[in-house]
A and B are shown apart, each in its own frame.
Chain A
């Protein structure tokens, strides 16, 4: 078996792969019993507050690109915002889970828990791989829409040491005129963590608040 073509093909190639897939892939998938929530179901009053605030803060741009600040439009923006978050590679520098170690719950808030990932907007899950910038899973509500808009337009305007790329193509020429992509991304960012009771979560450490100028 160990040196025969069929042994290598069936046992090594297919058998061991199947064993690993069943035990490490299918098993955890089967452990999820509750149905997946849709983007519409993930819209909540916290993110709607931010969404409506966007429509009041940038009334003309919002009416032109998004329309009315309804819950359905908010869900659409979450879907689109997530696609842009992926397409622009945001998730290569920002993670979306708070670990129970390394004092992360003090910096960001509640440790990640399984239920918060069981929705359409986490398929595939945006755990992330590297933190050049901070974790974003508790970002919603932490900063205002204005800050997010300016930061996306030119990060160094509000965070002088930032190494984040600029995204002027989310705007019609200036940070006070977000376009459809800009509204979608800001809505998506404000949604992250909006399902928590403690939203918005602010840093507990005073020094940290001063240093990061909240």
Chain B
């Protein structure tokens, strides 16, 4: 509601937000994160010869490794983002979502999608030998796979894909309606959200339909590369940054430092990020001009990222002590530091020179954990730390446990990333020097053992958080926790 003086009146925010859904989505996110981390620990134990469940079909490390990645993307990140969208979009547009019914439907449908994916990946391969599967596969000429499909993050079984697409379309509809109807200033956050709704749907459709059903071979691998990369770059990244543009100014009670840099950051990402995908497949038979193009576009993205980081450092400037005193702000800026590190790393590792050595090694795995956990998970932990007291009407049970969560997560992922990046260099040299394969496996053991303990640290942090949340739930309702309001530097 905009008053005659042009000031935004925030008194009716509470009525616009379905805080129950924020809570539900966050709890679902934490459930899937727990499952995902357990799956990761299982795979880590497998690599150091300590897997106690080796040889049990439904607990096969290979299948649970896919649960690890898919539960993070679709169970944890998607749910956490949906919760945060339910909190922020109505506040930014001063309008409720298009339909509460659709919101609740999305909640249930999305959990069904994630669970169906998990069931498909775990149980599907056990039924692959049924005669009718082979018959259908031959008849239709498609890979009729009950379990995982052969594309990273696109493992979602083919029979889940249409439902997931309907879900994503509904998400876009539900949040685009309030955005399109709103007359409030277009915050930077909303630029990212609008783009993310379009991109996520298109990316999912592209990656889950084209590589499986259209063209085979190396060149179609290019599509796979686009999908893997776009899922990070066009789904996770814009929603993550959009929420940073929302929460950081609110918590610091000041506007973003430079509107111009915000524009550079958004449009730079929008143009260059979709052109990056093929850099996942350097030195494959994909035509070299495409590989070079992807490398150049990737380096360009890193320049754009620098402008965004500068903008956020500029915003924090003068308020540096909040980095120490305010836990959500500390989560956000720790994530940004790690983002800058990963992106700098990316600008180097994407070159053909680096790729010679590090492709296929644990360097890449370290990089992936630094991005997915070090950046986006920390951001989400920050949002949850800030929002749970506000949707539960209770203060945190223990700020000590919240601190433990931060430090175990941050130090854990720091150790894991450094460890795997270093291990990756060793592996690359072992291979290039043509020593027997076992030498590279045995030489990796110190790094893999360290990784187990780093993972256990991160999991310990999560357990602190979950226990803290449980005790907060059980404590009596206190006075409503005040919600800070957006600070608008009205641009339009």
Distance between B89 CB and nearest chain A CB, rounded to angstroms: 13
> Within 8 Å of chain B (Cβ to Cβ): is A80?
yes
Interfacial chain A residues near B359, Cβ < 8 Å: 99
Q: A139 to B150, alpha carbons, bound, how many Å? A: 19
Q: Is the CB of A123 within 8 A of B194?
A: no
Q: 1/0 per residue A128-171: CB within 8 Å of B?
A: 11111110000000000000000000100001011101111100
Distance between A40 CB and nearest chain B CB, rounded to angstroms: 10
Nearest opposing residue in chain B for A125, CB measure:
B221
Q: Is the CB of B437 within 8 A of A101?
A: no
Q: Which of A17, A128, A131, A181 has the most CB of B within 10 A?
A: A17
> Within 8 Å of chain A (Cβ to Cβ): is B446?
no
> Within 8 Å of chain B (Cβ to Cβ): is A25?
yes
Known: A24-B275, A117-B285. A130 touches B186 (CB 8 A): no
Known: A32-B217, A79-B137, A91-B150. A132 touches B290 (CB 8 A): no
Q: Which of B59-67, B97-105, B324-332, B480-488 contacts A (4 or more CB under 8 A)?
A: B59-67
Q: Is the CB of A101 within 8 A of B283?
A: yes
Distance between B362 CB and nearest chain A CB, rounded to angstroms: 8
Q: Is the CB of B441 within 8 A of A92?
A: no
Known: A89-B65, A102-B356. A124 touches B284 (CB 8 A): no
Q: A63 to B216, alpha carbons, bound, how many Å? A: 33
> Within 8 Å of chain B (Cβ to Cβ): is A190?
no
Q: A113 to B263, alpha carbons, bound, how many Å? A: 43
Distance between B203 CB and nearest chain A CB, rounded to angstroms: 8
Q: A112 to B356, alpha carbons, bound, how many Å? A: 15
> Within 8 Å of chain A (Cβ to Cβ): is B467?
no
Q: A154 to B223, alpha carbons, bound, how many Å? A: 36
Q: Is the CB of B180 within 8 A of A5?
A: yes
Interfacial chain B residues near A32, Cβ < 8 Å: 215, 217, 219-220
Choose among A76, A117, A124, A159 the residue that contacts B149 (Cβ–Cβ < 8 A).
A124
Q: Is the CB of B442 within 8 A of A161?
A: yes
Choose among B51, B218, B441 the residue that contacts A162 (Cβ–Cβ < 8 A).
B441
Q: Is the CB of B274 within 8 A of A181?
A: no
Q: Is the CB of A118 within 8 A of B125?
A: no
Interfacial chain A residues near B149, Cβ < 8 Å: 86, 124
Q: Which of B154, B211, B215, B234 has the most CB of A within 10 A?
A: B215
Choose among A9, A106, A117, A179 the residue that contacts B434 (Cβ–Cβ < 8 A).
A106
Choose among B125, B133, B274, B427 the residue that contacts A19 (Cβ–Cβ < 8 A).
B274
Known: A31-B287, A102-B432, A123-B217. A80 touches B278 (CB 8 A): no
Choose among B143, B195, B360, B492 the residue that contacts A8 (Cβ–Cβ < 8 A).
B195
Nearest opposing residue in chain B for A133, CB measure:
B437
Q: Is the CB of B63 within 8 A of A88?
A: yes
Main SS of chain B's interface residues? helix
Known: A13-B194, A24-B278. A123 touches B441 (CB 8 A): no
Interfacial chain A residues near B219, Cβ < 8 Å: 28-29, 31-32, 114
Q: Which of A13, A82, A128 has the most CB of B within 10 A?
A: A13
Nearest opposing residue in chain B for A34, CB measure:
B217
Q: A87 to B263, alpha carbons, bound, how many Å? A: 43
Q: A4 to B491, alpha carbons, bound, how many Å? A: 11
Q: A14 to B274, alpha carbons, bound, how many Å? A: 11
Interfacial chain B residues near A184, Cβ < 8 Å: 129
Known: A24-B277, A24-B293, A32-B215. A90 touches B220 (CB 8 A): no
Distance between B402 CB and nearest chain A CB, rounded to angstroms: 35
Known: A3-B263, A124-B224. A181 touches B128 (CB 8 A): yes
Nearest opposing residue in chain B for A114, CB measure:
B285
Q: 1/0 per residue B260-302: CB within 8 Å of A?
A: 0001001100110011011011011111001001100000000
Choose among B65, B128, B138, B434 the residue that contacts A205 (Cβ–Cβ < 8 A).
B434
Choose among A9, A24, A124, A129 the residue that contacts B198 (Cβ–Cβ < 8 A).
A9
Known: A12-B266, A24-B294. A29 touches B214 (CB 8 A): yes
Q: Is the CB of A163 within 8 A of B46?
A: yes
Q: 1/0 per residue B201-238: CB within 8 Å of A?
A: 01100100011111111111111111000000010000
> Within 8 Å of chain B (Cβ to Cβ): is A83?
yes
Interfacial chain B residues near A114, Cβ < 8 Å: 217-219, 285
> Within 8 Å of chain B (Cβ to Cβ): is A212?
yes
Interfacial chain B residues near A205, Cβ < 8 Å: 434
Q: A9 to B286, alpha carbons, bound, how many Å? A: 31
Within 77-127 of A, Cβ neighbours of B (below 8 Å) are at: 79-80, 82-84, 86-93, 95, 97, 99-104, 106-107, 112-114, 117-127
> Within 8 Å of chain B (Cβ to Cβ): is A58?
no
Q: Is the CB of A82 within 8 A of B63?
A: no
Q: Is the CB of B290 within 8 A of A28?
A: yes
Nearest opposing residue in chain A for B433, CB measure:
A103
Choose among A92, A124, A208 the residue that contacts B221 (Cβ–Cβ < 8 A).
A124
Nearest opposing residue in chain A for B137, CB measure:
A79
> Within 8 Å of chain A (Cβ to Cβ): is B148?
yes
16 pairs from A and B in contact (CB 8 Å cutoff): A2-B263, A8-B191, A21-B206, A21-B274, A25-B210, A79-B137, A83-B125, A89-B62, A101-B355, A103-B431, A119-B217, A124-B211, A125-B217, A131-B361, A162-B438, A181-B129
Q: A12-B195, A127-B281 are in contact. List 12 more A-B contacts (CB 8 A).
A: A5-B186, A32-B215, A32-B217, A83-B125, A89-B65, A112-B285, A123-B220, A127-B221, A127-B224, A165-B55, A165-B62, A211-B438
Contacts from B to A (Cβ < 8 Å): 46-49, 51, 54-55, 57, 60-63, 65-66, 121, 124-126, 128-129, 133-134, 137-138, 141, 143-152, 154, 179-180, 186, 190-191, 194-195, 197-199, 202-203, 206, 210-226, 234, 263, 266-267, 270-271, 274-275, 277-278, 280-281, 283-287, 290, 293-294, 355-357, 359-362, 364-365, 427-428, 431-438, 441-442, 491-492
Contacts from A to B (Cβ < 8 Å): 2-5, 8-9, 11-14, 16-17, 19-21, 23-25, 27-29, 31-32, 36, 38, 76, 79-80, 82-84, 86-93, 95, 97, 99-104, 106-107, 112-114, 117-134, 154, 159, 161-163, 165-169, 179-181, 184, 205, 208, 211-212
Among all A-B residue pairs, the 8 with the closest Cβ atoms: A87-B125, A20-B274, A89-B62, A13-B198, A123-B216, A87-B147, A124-B211, A28-B219
